Chain A
Amino acid sequence: MVEPSLIRAAREGDREALITLLRKIETHVYRTAYYLVGNEQDAMDAAQEALIRIYTKIGSYEEKAQFKTWVQRIVTNICIDKFRRNKPTVSIEEHEMVFEGRESVEGEVMAACAAKDIREAIDRLPDHHRAVVVLRYLQDFSYNEIADSLDLPLNTVKSYLFRARQQLQVLLRDYQKGGVRG
Chain B
Amino acid sequence: MNCQEVMEYMQRELDGDLGDIESAKLREHIRRCADCAEMYERLQRLSAELENLPKVTPPFSLVDAILPKLEEIDRAAAGGGTGADGQPAGAEGIGEKTGSAPAAPRRRISRFNLRVLGGVVAAGIVAGVFLVTYDRDRLEEDMIGNRALELASSGSASSDASGSSEPAIMFGTVSESFDAMNVADQYGMETSADAANAGDSSPTGQEASPTSGVGYKFVPDRGEAGGTDSGTGSGADAGTDVYASPGADAAPGSGTENAELLEAPVAQRGESGDGAEMPAVGVIQDIVDLRKELAASSVESVSPDGSYVAVFADSRVIIYDRNGNTRFEGEEREGAIAAYGWTEDGGFFRYEIRRGDGTGETYRIDPAAGTETREP
Taking Cβ atoms with an 8 Å cutoff, the residues of A that contact B are 15, 19, 22-23, 26-27, 29-31, 34-35, 40, 43-44, 47-48, 51-52, 55-56, 114-115, 118-119, 133, 136-138, 143, 158, 161-162, 165-166, 168-169, 172-173
Contacts and interface: CB of A to CB of B under 8 A. Distances in A.
B107 interface: no
Contact of B53 (A26, A137, A172): A137
A172 B52 contact: no
A21 to B, nearest CB: 9
Interface string B71-113: 0011000000000000000000000000000000000000000
Contact of A26 (B7, B14, B39, B61): B61
B61 A161 contact: no
Query: DSSP majority for the A interface?
Result: helix
Given A44-B62, A118-B49, 10 more contacts: A19-B70, A52-B69, A137-B50, A143-B15, A162-B7, A165-B14, A165-B46, A165-B47, A168-B50, A173-B42
Given A48-B66, A169-B43, A26 B49 contact: no
A55 B62 CA distance: 13
B65 interface: yes
Contacts of B45: 172
18 contacts: A19-B63, A19-B70, A27-B58, A30-B57, A30-B58, A31-B55, A47-B62, A48-B65, A48-B66, A51-B66, A52-B66, A52-B69, A119-B53, A133-B50, A138-B53, A158-B12, A166-B11, A173-B42
Contacts of A168: 46, 50
The 3 A-B residue pairs with the shortest CB-CB distance, nearest first, are A137-B50, A30-B58, A162-B11
Nearest to B42: A169
Contacts of B73: 52, 55-56
B20 interface: no
B54 interface: yes
B59 interface: yes
Contacts, number: 93
B55 A114 contact: no
Contact of A51 (B46, B52, B63): B63
A48 B58 CA distance: 10
B69 A23 contact: no
Given A52-B70, A168-B46, A115 B53 contact: yes
A34 to B, nearest CB: 5
B357 interface: no
B8 interface: yes
B58 A47 contact: yes
B62 A30 contact: yes
Contacts of B39: 169
B204 to A, nearest CB: 57
Contacts of B55: 31, 138
Interface in B1-38: 7-8, 11-12, 14-15, 17
A17 to B, nearest CB: 13
Contacts of A27: 57-58
Contact of B49 (A55, A115, A166): A115
A110 to B, nearest CB: 12
B51 interface: yes
Contacts of A172: 42, 45-46, 49
A51 B51 contact: no
A27 B62 CA distance: 9
A114 B69 CA distance: 39
B180 interface: no
A42 to B, nearest CB: 12
A48 B50 contact: no
B290 interface: no
Contacts of B57: 27, 30-31
B276 interface: no
B18 to A, nearest CB: 13
Contacts of B67: 19
A40 B60 CA distance: 12
A31 B56 contact: yes
B63 A23 contact: yes
Contacts of A51: 62-63, 66
Given A115-B52, A168-B46, A26 B11 contact: no
A30 B57 CA distance: 7
A30 B8 contact: no
Contacts of B11: 158, 161-162, 165-166
B161 to A, nearest CB: 41
Contacts of B54: 115
A134 to B, nearest CB: 9
A45 B67 CA distance: 14
Nearest to B62: A26
A143 B17 contact: yes
Contacts of A114: 49
